[in-house]
Structure 1
Amino acid sequence: MAESSTTSDTSEPNPAAKTVLVTGATGYIGGRLVPRLLAEGHTVRVLVRSPDKIEAVPWRDRVEVVRGSLDDAQALKAALRGVDLLYYLVHSMAAGSGFEAKEKSMAELAAQTAGEAGARRIVYLGGLHPGNTGLSTHMRSREAVGRTFLAGPVDAVVFQAGVVIGSGSASFEMIRNLSETLPVMPAPSWVRNKIEAIAVRDVLHYLVRAAVLTEPLNRSFDIGSRDVLTYAGMMNEYAAEAGLPHRLILALPVPAPRLAGLWVALVTPIPLSMALPLVQSLQHDAVSAEHDIDQYIPPPDGGLTGYRTAVALALGKERDGQVETTWANAGADADPLPSDPDWAGHTVFVDERTFHGDVAPSHVWTVIEGIGGRNGWYSLPLAWQVRGWLDKLTGGAGLLRGRRHPGNLAPGEVVDWWRVERIDRGTLLRLRAEMRAPGRAWLELSVEPDGTGSRYRQRAIFFPKGLSGRLYWLGVLPFHSLIFPAMSRNIIAAARKIADLQDRSQKADSRKDGGFH
């Protein structure tokens, strides 16, 4: 089974094809929607702040890219020129004063500009929520954005979805990690709330079909699996699908959203800044109040995907290394590292190590590009784990985010608490740290030919912020002296194992060929 279906390209042109603009194409849903729209024959344009983030995606050469953001009126005007349909798939997980006003202001600008450009429809993906009740800040903001589009000059289809289940989704990671962490789990009272999840493949089905709706339509639609569980029930259904014993979940008579958000941040890959709004959105039931979407868009072939099936599909995708997009890769733009570390008068600390090996650079590169996640960091795992937990306790990313694919990386992707800032495949990988630290940090791993072998180089680069940054660097130097030399040696040793396995495989193939002849 496929987690989400993509319609194949056909030689016949699609008479209903549209020119569409996708915002949020670097996000979890947007990154999956674009190739499906292309497969349906639509002409796709994307608005992104950092085009480098989509350089490595398979569909890059088939879309038009406009650089800009949703609060940039000129970029938005250029992006919407000649567009039939706008997909608005952006929602910040930021917080702080002015957050809701900014979200609403961007939606108003998008609606106004779409109207001026002659667009016929806006499609927005919001959150499923009960009516006539107090909502969390982020859910309230999503509702306000939806209302802004419905009141605007362009017809809008506002989908309201609950928990999205799919490989790499934040909701799935939260359920998975909570379910796997403790067999007995004291939990806030909201674990008894009723939740209607939806598989990512079904979300994409509705989004794609919205492009070819022919009648004028300006309204919201609740979408879901029709499979209603409590949040505790979702965790136990996950446990059953994953082959785990039944989880005993003790619902305490307090909601405790902030405490629960902190707990989620500690035991899952999700940082505190995202865990809090996710938990706050679970304070109320999230069940479809109507199923009117069936009158306009039929369910997918085979019907809607039940929760248990969605979990099975997500787990299968991860086992096969076929995760298309992840929550962790969405929405963050990297500040570029200057090629010269002594740039612009910065105080720069560098810890550089080199190691010469008798193995081909290509094998060393295989190890470099596969670093992190389940493969780890090739030195003192306990030390990395302790630093990861300290980072989690201070609200950072920690080491639990993993990576999208076990062997391939692209700019902008997450690797544990790092983000890929630059990758020159075969030679250099530059990672920007997203851990909590008093300064900015990078890790560079590179390899080049050296005679019949290779020269591996490893650089830790730190731009300290104030006195605390300088003291921090002095404090971590003793750990660097233990971790980094071992890391260099072990990366070369791992590359040598790859070379040996390949050599043995080639010899075995040669013997088979010789025996056959």
Structure 2
Amino acid sequence: MGQVAAVTGATGFLGGHLCERLLAEGWTVRGLCRPSSDRRLERPASRSSDLAEVAWYVGDCFDAATLSSLVDGADVVFHLAGVGLWSADPETVHRVNREGTENVLEACRDGDVGRVVFTSTAGTRRTNGSSEFADEDDIAEPIGAYQASKAAAERLLDDYAATGGDAVTVHPTSIVGPGDDSFTTQLLAMGLEPTMPATLPGGASIVGVSDVVDGLLAAAADGERGEHYILGGENLTYDQAASRIADYAGGTAAPVRVPATAIRAAGPVAEGVRAVTGRQVFPFDRRMAALATQRLFYSSQKANAELGYEYEPLESHLPETLAWYRDAET
């Protein structure tokens, strides 16, 4: 009998890809999902895939009985469940990301559980200016509710590891791949759509979803208890990424870059609308808007040295991602 994995966030973009890989490698997979969640993977029409072999546990991170059943007896608990500011208000983001993590760890303490692999975000790390690339030691002051909630959850994992539990935290950077209708669709549009008026200033560490799944499995197998690992990819400006996508796919990269001043100005506008009307028109404030104009570049040297983690160039992830993107448009 293969190893048993429990996966929260199993129907999400990264969670679905992780479950698919685990199943392919012979794991028994238990997945946490809400009653309304779609349990199919979004793939190009030429390659259908679903998660029918996952043993589904219907509930969420606030259902103690379901969590207990989900994790008990698992060799690895992959905790990926979370929400961002595009889909929830700041209070809900904190509740799900921080308190939900606390509930998962409580279930793990009470059950027979091997290792916990927690997926945080590279956003809790940021260079202090002494280097172009941030690493695991560059702990940053959180900007916005999402980063703050993830930083708080990381502290819970660190405490769990320091008090007898076995836990590792990974920090993916900006992930691209089929099924992601946020960052991936925006990035591809900058390189493919003739109607796209502009690229963005700044840049990101762009990593394929399959590489992040590799990193999750490596962290489960070889990570040091209590350690953190950045799972990044190529560090590219958005201009560079758009040009490479256009060159690969025969598209037309957006010809103009949005001025950083325009993005920074949107932060105060969003704050003002929220203060007057109580409505959130953009999920960021002035500090988050300023952050979006920076080159958020990262080093994965530690993950490479300790986990054997490697990443592929952007172009290697484009065939399946572009097929999915074009299917979604038709």
TM class, shorter-length: 0.7 to 0.9
What is the match of residue 166 of structure 1? Answer: 177
What is the match of residue 35 of structure 2? Answer: 50
2:239 to 232, 239, 244: 232
Q: Is the 8 A contact 2:194 2:251 kept in 1?
A: no
Deviation at 1:237, TM superposition (A): 2.4
- 1:185 is matched by which residue type in structure 2? A
Q: Is 1:210 paired with 2:195?
A: no
- Equivalent positions of 1:84-123 (< 5 A) are 84-93=75-84, 94-97=88-91, 99-123=93-117
Q: Tell me, in whole angstroms, the C-alpha distance in 1 between the residues paired with 2:258 and 2:37.
A: 45
Q: Is the 8 A contact 1:128 1:286 kept in 2?
A: no
What is the match of residue 305 of structure 1? Answer: 312
Q: 1:55 to 1:173 in 2, by over 3 A?
A: closer
Q: 1:102 to 1:23 in 2, by over 3 A?
A: closer
Q: 1:102 to 1:22 in 2, by over 3 A?
A: closer
Q: 1:316 to 1:83 in 2, by over 3 A?
A: same
- Equivalent positions of 1:70-469 (< 5 A) are 70-93=61-84, 94-97=88-91, 99-129=93-123, 130=126, 131-152=139-160, 153=163, 154-169=165-180, 170-179=182-191, 180=193, 182=195, 184-185=197-198, 191-192=201-202, 194-213=203-222, 216-225=224-233, 227-254=234-261, 256=263, 259=266, 276=283, 282-299=292-309, 304-318=311-325, 373-374=329-330
Q: Is the 8 A contact 1:232 1:249 kept in 2?
A: no
Q: Is the 8 A contact 1:186 1:252 kept in 2?
A: no
Q: 1:37 to 1:290 in 2, by over 3 A?
A: closer
- 1:23 is matched by which residue type in structure 2? T
Deviations 1:178-213 (A, max 9, x none): 4425465385xxx13x41110111011112333333
Q: Is the 8 A contact 1:20 1:83 kept in 2?
A: yes
Q: Tell me, in whole angstroms, the C-alpha distance in 2 between the residues paired with 1:185 and 1:55.
A: 33
Deviations 1:105-145 (A, max 9, x none): 11111112112213121112222131334523222322322
Q: Tell me, in whole angstroms, the C-alpha distance in 2 between the residues paired with 1:86 and 1:177.
A: 35
Deviation at 1:254, TM superposition (A): 1.6
Q: 1:139 to 1:255 in 2, by over 3 A?
A: farther
Secondary structure in 2 matching 1:276: coil
Deviations 1:308-346 (A, max 9, x none): 333344214545x5x8xxxxxxxxxxxxxxxxxxxxxxx
Q: Is the 8 A contact 2:118 2:170 kept in 1?
A: yes
2:9 to 2, 24, 40: 24
Identity, % of aligned pairs? 19
- 1:81 is matched by which residue type in structure 2? D
Q: Tell me, in whole angstroms, the C-alpha distance in 1 between the residues paired with 2:40 and 2:300.
A: 40
Secondary structure in 1 matching 2:308: coil
Q: 1:149 to 1:250 in 2, by over 3 A?
A: same
Deviation at 1:293, TM superposition (A): 1.2
Q: Is the 8 A contact 1:127 1:161 kept in 2?
A: yes
Q: 1:290 to 1:309 in 2, by over 3 A?
A: closer
What is the match of residue 67 of structure 1? Answer: 58
Q: 1:83 to 1:258 in 2, by over 3 A?
A: farther
Q: Is the 8 A contact 2:31 2:56 kept in 1?
A: yes
Q: Is the 8 A contact 1:255 1:283 kept in 2?
A: no
Q: Tell me, in whole angstroms, the C-alpha distance in 2 between the residues paired with 1:195 and 1:52.
A: 30
Q: Tell me, in whole angstroms, the C-alpha distance in 1 between the residues paired with 2:252 and 2:40.
A: 43
Q: Relative contact order, CA 8 A, sep 6+: which one is greater?
A: 2
In structure 2, stretches of 5+ residues that fail to align are: 42-47, 127-138, 270-278
Secondary structure in 2 matching 1:108: helix
Q: 1:21 to 1:51 in 2, by over 3 A?
A: farther
What is the match of residue 275 of structure 2? Answer: none
- 2:322 is matched by which residue type in structure 1? L
Q: 1:186 to 1:59 in 2, by over 3 A?
A: closer
Q: Tell me, in whole angstroms, the C-alpha distance in 2 between the residues paired with 1:177 and 1:284.
A: 20
* Structure index of larger Rg: 1
Q: Tell me, in whole angstroms, the C-alpha distance in 2 between the residues paired with 1:248 and 1:69.
A: 44
Q: Tell me, in whole angstroms, the C-alpha distance in 1 between the residues paired with 2:307 and 2:280.
A: 35
Q: 1:255 to 1:91 in 2, by over 3 A?
A: farther
Secondary structure in 2 matching 1:25: coil
Q: 1:242 to 1:79 in 2, by over 3 A?
A: same
Q: Tell me, in whole angstroms, the C-alpha distance in 2 between the residues paired with 1:116 and 1:315.
A: 44
Deviations 1:270-315 (A, max 9, x none): xx989736x857354422245111233224xxx5211233334421
When the two chains are superposed, the root-mean-square deviation of aligned CA atoms in Å is 3.4
Q: Tell me, in whole angstroms, the C-alpha distance in 2 between the residues paired with 1:106 and 1:144.
A: 11
Q: Is the 8 A contact 1:186 1:249 kept in 2?
A: yes
Deviation at 1:246, TM superposition (A): 4.7
Secondary structure in 2 matching 1:112: helix
